[in-house]
Amino acid sequence: MPRPVAQRADLSAAWKRLYGLWKESFYVKVGYSRELIARTLEKHTRPVVCWSGGKDSTVLLHLVREQLPDVDVIFNDPLVDLPETYSYVEKMANAWNLNLHITKPERGQDFWSLGRTYGWPIFGKSVASNVERAQRTGNIRKQLTDMERQLAMSGICISCRCSDLLRTKPGMHMEKKLCCDLKIVGLRADESRARVRLWADHGEYFYTRRHFSYREGIWKLNPIARWLEEDIWSYHRINNIPPCQLYEMGHKRNGCWACAMGIRNGHLKRLSDSHPELFSELLVESPMGSALMQARDFWLGKRPKSRYRKSTRRAVLNTYHEAFTKAWRRGD
């Protein structure tokens, strides 16, 4: 999200305040979130909850349904979520009798088509976005990190467009169809610096321009921004909310099984452990396989090739992750 000059808060002060808020007790955080939700719902007539089936958004959904049981719920299905996510969404939708709306990508905009067109989601959203822009425009800006400059000149086609086109855009269309005037999301500030900036600039309740539109906007509410991961698990336990099975299988979050945004943090290693057949399909059989091999060679300091035979990809199945678990790291 762009940071207008008038809204750019002092990040050092924001970090200091957040550290204080993170130290508050679990019950203080829950009380604050419940009060914030109640206060905000009074101002709107058609709120929706964005639910991914993950641990955070499930807590958010439970908090909102305490006060508005029939709230509209949107699940954006990118068609490449892990099987356990689909099972969990169906299970909880039936158990809680959710007013659930499921979106799908537009025809011709499936994950594999988008990857061929724009590039593949590898190395993280910020890196992929910066590299794609540099490759598309030919402008290697001085603001890029050394790693981003090298990636931009490496020939590896990476992009984060899929996130917008598989989830954000279909979700926006559903929000408009429902005449939604409030979008409730579950984003914890402790998960990334970008989310700290979002909280510092806008707080938990703010008005923002919609994606894919320069004229329309929407109110957003983020009631669990101040929570820590331990608070999320405490809420699950105290309220007897079963989490998605993926967390028991070693995953830190749910999401697209084909996504390699978290490649440096072991996401594909977790996929190979929990779903070896999907990992094999991704690396060996899918059109993304060559890009993943290029990423591996780039990380090892080798010159990426333009293509890799399936036999070559299959040969590194069991050793693929060694390249991303070295003690050294390329500059961020």
pLDDT in tens, 95-140: 999 999 999 999 999 999 999 999 999 998 889 999 999 999 988 8
Angular region, 266: left φ>0, alpha ψ -120 to 50, beta rest? left
* Inter-residue contact 255 to 90 (CB < 8 Å): no
List of residues 6+ apart from 141 with CB closer than 8 A: 134
Question: Using CA of residue 187, residue 191, residue 195, residue 200, what is the dihedral sign?
Answer: positive
d(CA 224, CA 315): 44
Q: Where are the domain boundaries for CATH 3.40.50.620 in the chain?
A: 1-109+164-249
Question: How many CB atoms sit inside 10 A of residue 323's CB?
Answer: 17
The per-residue pLDDT for 239 is 98
For 299-309, what is each residue's pLDDT tens digit?
998 999 999 99
The per-residue pLDDT for 67 is 97
d(CA 141, CA 159): 17
Tell me which fold the domain 1-109+164-249 belongs to: Rossmann fold (3.40.50)
d(CA 72, CA 101): 7
The per-residue pLDDT for 32 is 98
The per-residue pLDDT for 128 is 93
Write phi, then psi, for 109 (nearest 5 degrees): -120, 45
The per-residue pLDDT for 76 is 97
Of 123, 113, 129, 86, the residue nearest 256 (C-alpha):
86
The per-residue pLDDT for 3 is 47
Residue with tokens 């719902």: 41
Angular region, 108: left φ>0, alpha ψ -120 to 50, beta rest? left
Q: What is the pLDDT along the chain (332 residues), one digit of tens a residue?
A: 444 444 455 778 888 889 999 999 999 999 999 999 999 999 999 999 999 999 999 999 999 999 999 999 999 999 999 999 999 999 999 999 999 999 999 999 999 999 999 999 999 888 999 999 999 998 888 889 999 999 999 989 999 999 999 999 999 999 999 999 999 999 999 988 888 888 888 899 999 876 655 677 899 999 999 999 999 999 999 999 999 999 999 999 899 999 999 898 889 999 999 999 999 999 999 999 999 999 999 999 899 999 999 999 999 999 999 888 764 455 44
The per-residue pLDDT for 322 is 87
d(CA 330, CA 21): 33
